[in-house]
Structure 1
Amino acid sequence: MKRKIYKELIKWKENEDRKPLMLLGARQVGKTWIMQHFGEQEYKKVAYVNCDDEPRMKQLFDLDYDIDRILMTLQAITGVKVTPGDTLIVFDEIQEVPRGLHSLKYFCEKAPMYHVMVAGSLLGVTLGKGESFPVGKVDMLFMYPMDYEEFLYATGHEGWIDILHSKDWTLIETMMPKMVELLRQYYFVGGMPGVVSKFVKNADLQQVRTLQHEILEAYGRDISKHTSASESVRIRQVMGSLPAQLAKENKKFVYGAIRKGSRAKDFELAIQWLLDAGIIYKVNRVNEPKMPLKFYEDFDAFKLFMLDCGLLACMAEAPIDQMLVGNNVFTEFKGMFTEQYVMQQLKAIGFTPYYWSNSKSPSEIDFIIQNGKRVIPIEVKAEENVRARSLSQFVKDNAGLKGLRISMKGYVDQEWLENIPLVAIDAYFE
């Protein structure tokens, strides 16, 4: 399995101003695996400890933050003598250890020669609760589910990634039927590494759904474990409403769709918990397509997406045959899976997607991103019909913009618009 974040970890290791690295991301996106794999490949030794499974870690930082004592205790627990430069120290599920996060300040200030990496499935929730955080003393990376190209690599089609990045659009178009077949599989399987690994191993579609259900159940256990009973109910209600919210023509999140008469105050904390846990993504509306987009953000209107298209398909109970046979997955479900897919790829690249809508008409732009000094309005088309009335009018109304349509069609460059295939998002923005 190959993950693109590996290159970022190499940069971190080689940076002379390196600080302890914090990996953020939802449960089961591959944080533990990448830390251990990176350590095995790039260091002589790995001192790995799971703070949730190891009771002796609970009191490690109670006495003080003496680095020598901490390293001696770590050696006793892991059996690995930590030496500067050639040992990777990994604290997994660090949020389970009192004062664990705060200890990173002392590794940064008093022992910068040691390479320290930490992660936790609910680190974002822990930080959201105001846990003592070493501001300015850590490096941070976000980890997401596998994107489409990582899926290609895992399924043995890594050569096609080179074709996509060649931007030879004629060659890409000849490969599109097979690439779209794999795109259907990606919509169904998703990018959770454990699910992808099992799919590659035995291609058992029922097992894929079983594993996806297990991940969702694990999220449910986290919710119950770390929230009150009433808060847990609200969080589950928000999460459970996502398929219906995204299946609407207008995908703006509506509180009343969760429970009749509901208002923002009833579910704001529930949404924030899911965001902090990395389980959902929030795409806010912008009032104007101007730079910086952050200045024009409208916090009252937004869309919510699941972190992974495969988990969304599982939650929606989308029939396997409709996902994998024919074009149903693109033509049915009102474009739900394709918009989810595009958002997921944009997040993995590093964009913060927004969207735009007109309060006086049904006009809507699916996503708006800021790429360097360019604001790009994006229209997503899952079907062969790629007429883009909203995008055309939007570009006319906002001089200087050039639209981007992401669809099943091949590459086209017009004066006001570029069209790129759904499979080439990462390659286009390279």
Structure 2
Amino acid sequence: MFRRTALNYLREWAQKEDRKPLVLRGARQVGKTTLVDMFAEEFDNYIYLNLEDKTIANIFASDTSFDDLLASIFFKANVRQDSQRTLIFIDEIQNEPNAVQSLRYFYEKRNDLYVIAAGSLLESLMGRYISFPVGRVEYMALRPCTFVEFLAAIGEELLAEQVEKIAVPQSLHSYTLDLFRKYMIIGGLPEVVANYAKHRDMVRLNPLFNSLLSGYRDDVEKYASKVKEQDSIRYILNYGWSFAAHRIQFAKFTNSSFKSADISNAFRTLEKTLLLELVYPQTSASFPILPDLKKSPKLLWLDTGLVNYVAGLQEELLFTTDTNELWNGDIAEHIVSQELLGATTLFGEKRMFWVRDARNSQAEVDFLIRYKSHLLPIEVKTGSNSKLHSLHIFMEESKEEIALRLWNGPMTSDVITRSDGRPFTLYNIPLYYAGQLYEWLKQSPHNI
């Protein structure tokens, strides 16, 4: 089923005995409302409350008891209060502060009801104008569709299951890699994926991308009140996409005339909306995890398909004949970063990468992941092991016994000896398993 990963999490939430109201958090247009509508099919009753409708918002704004509020909600929805399973979805909850505060009473007094809340501008308002009841709600991060969800959307349910199980037959390796390439070009924004699944036409996607991008640009005034910050945000939304998976400098960003502080503040504002993430490097090959905020960050956007559209890369990626260049490029790294983040529904998860803290050193490992008490390096690169120069440098400084390389080849492994004689195993993992690395680690023969 489309959005299967997210739906599975919602099912797990619904089965909890001490269930709290769930707040869906994610960038605009990642399909929060559509997801809840799909989930609602599994309930006897579904009450949808959109607080952009003032008549609905006024139900919460009234100074009444919680029992009266609940009676009004059911009456307005023409639903009886009985023993049937009822899902209540409060959409655009940021429009009424009393609705936010009511979530604590749903938890304390009516835990038998299933309550979900979301808002299109929630992320940009949280921390400034909105504060959810501490300890009375839980959060779920909703992100673009994963590769597994993309496969399910286009009718490749059986292959999606094989990818989830890390059990794709070798005979289907090239076929699966080709589908991952399409996913890399199209991205995971739900409306775009659904359109491609229906029409199988990439050209038809361009108006959708343009509409999505226009929506983000139109929201600028809602993200920032000062004209200077609005101008900086618009500049980034116009010209920042080509720097996806690149390390950036705020000073003279893309040779603009904006001051470093203005660009930095604009990036921070956009980061709060979850449209992008600034990832600062780790300089140690071991714990603790301490990103170096003095070094330049790597820019990762919400969705690789949107990056391709704005940066004009779709045709180049679709028709390139140099597959090594394709899988060694920034876009391959970016889609891997998207898959790594999409593997979890926990809010606040950050991606990591490594640079060597030495003068004039160019050593940089694409990603680090934390697994139990281990800090493991990941390179996104094809070719021979000798080309993994930065990964080898990391492992010289690391006590870990395994390293990971995502590539276009089959699942293989190599035992490599460090300069001091210590061995480590390099696992070469097909790119289409990028979102399944934690599951793979559970099955790892090293049993870490």
TM-score, with structure 1 as normaliser: 0.90
Compute the displacement of 1:168 (Å): 4.5
Cα distance per residue 1:52-102 (max 9 Å; x no partner): 2x1113333333362222223223433333446611111011112233222
Contact 1:234 1:267 in 2 (8 A): yes
Which residue identity lines up with residue 252 of structure 1 in the other structure? R
- Aligned partner of 2:107 in structure 1 is 108
SS of equivalent residue, structure 1 residue 180: helix
Whether 1:97 aligns to 2:92 is: no
Structure 1 unaligned segments of length 5 or more: list them: none
Contact 1:282 1:302 in 2 (8 A): yes
Residue pairs, 1:184-203, within 5 angstroms: 184-203=181-200
Whether 1:36 aligns to 2:37 is: yes
Whether 1:314 aligns to 2:309 is: yes
| Whole-angstrom CA distance in 2 between matches of 1:326 and 1:82 | 59
- Aligned partner of 1:343 in structure 2 is 337
SS of equivalent residue, structure 1 residue 4: helix
| Whole-angstrom CA distance in 2 between matches of 1:288 and 1:396 | 12
| Whole-angstrom CA distance in 2 between matches of 1:318 and 1:329 | 15
| Whole-angstrom CA distance in 1 between matches of 2:219 and 2:154 | 31
Question: Any runs of at least 4 consecutive aligned residues in structure 1 with deviations exceeding 6 A, and if so which?
Answer: none
Residue pairs, 1:241-252, within 5 angstroms: 241-246=239-244, 251-252=246-247
Moved more, 238-247 or 279-288: 238-247
- Aligned partner of 2:421 in structure 1 is none
Identify if the C-alpha distance between structure 1 residues 333 and 219 changes in structure 2 by more than 3 Å, giving closer, same or farther.
farther
Which residue identity lines up with residue 263 of structure 2 in the other structure? F
| Whole-angstrom CA distance in 1 between matches of 2:165 and 2:15 | 29
Identify if the C-alpha distance between structure 1 residues 330 and 318 changes in structure 2 by more than 3 Å, giving closer, same or farther.
farther
Q: What percent identity do the matched residue pairs reach?
A: 29
| Whole-angstrom CA distance in 2 between matches of 1:118 and 1:55 | 17
Compute the displacement of 1:273 (Å): 2.1
Residue pairs, 1:126-137, within 5 angstroms: 126-137=125-136
SS of equivalent residue, structure 1 residue 367: strand
Residue pairs, 1:381-396, within 5 angstroms: 381=381, 383-384=382-383, 387-396=387-396
Compute the displacement of 1:379 (Å): 0.9
| Whole-angstrom CA distance in 1 between matches of 2:340 and 2:152 | 19
Identify if the C-alpha distance between structure 1 residues 84 and 161 changes in structure 2 by more than 3 Å, giving closer, same or farther.
same
| Whole-angstrom CA distance in 2 between matches of 1:179 and 1:309 | 19
Compute the displacement of 1:140 (Å): 0.6
Contact 2:356 2:363 in 1 (8 A): yes
Which residue identity lines up with residue 37 of structure 1 in the other structure? M
Compute the displacement of 1:377 (Å): 0.8
Which residue identity lines up with residue 106 of structure 2 in the other structure? F
Contact 2:327 2:380 in 1 (8 A): no
Which residue identity lines up with residue 390 of structure 2 in the other structure? S
Contact 2:148 2:164 in 1 (8 A): no
RMSD of aligned Cα (Å): 2.3
Structure 2 unaligned segments of length 5 or more: list them: 416-423, 440-448
SS of equivalent residue, structure 2 residue 213: helix
Contact 2:3 2:35 in 1 (8 A): no
Q: How many residues align?
A: 419
- Aligned partner of 1:357 in structure 2 is 355
Moved more, 112-121 or 337-346: 112-121
Contact 1:65 1:106 in 2 (8 A): no
Match of 1:215 among 209, 212, 216: 212
Compute the displacement of 1:204 (Å): 2.4
Compute the displacement of 1:299 (Å): 2.4
Which residue identity lines up with residue 394 of structure 1 in the other structure? F
Which residue identity lines up with residue 434 of structure 2 in the other structure? I
Which residue identity lines up with residue 176 of structure 1 in the other structure? H
Which residue identity lines up with residue 123 of structure 1 in the other structure? L
Which residue identity lines up with residue 224 of structure 1 in the other structure? E
- Aligned partner of 2:317 in structure 1 is 323
Moved more, 78-87 or 196-205: 78-87
Compute the displacement of 1:207 (Å): 1.5
Compute the displacement of 1:396 (Å): 1.4
SS of equivalent residue, structure 1 residue 298: coil
Cα distance per residue 1:138-165 (max 9 Å; x no partner): 0110011001111111111121233334
Cα distance per residue 1:346-399 (max 9 Å; x no partner): 001126321111252111011111011211111111x44662011012101223
Identify if the C-alpha distance between structure 1 residues 2 and 131 changes in structure 2 by more than 3 Å, giving closer, same or farther.
closer
Contact 1:190 1:310 in 2 (8 A): yes
Contact 1:287 1:297 in 2 (8 A): yes
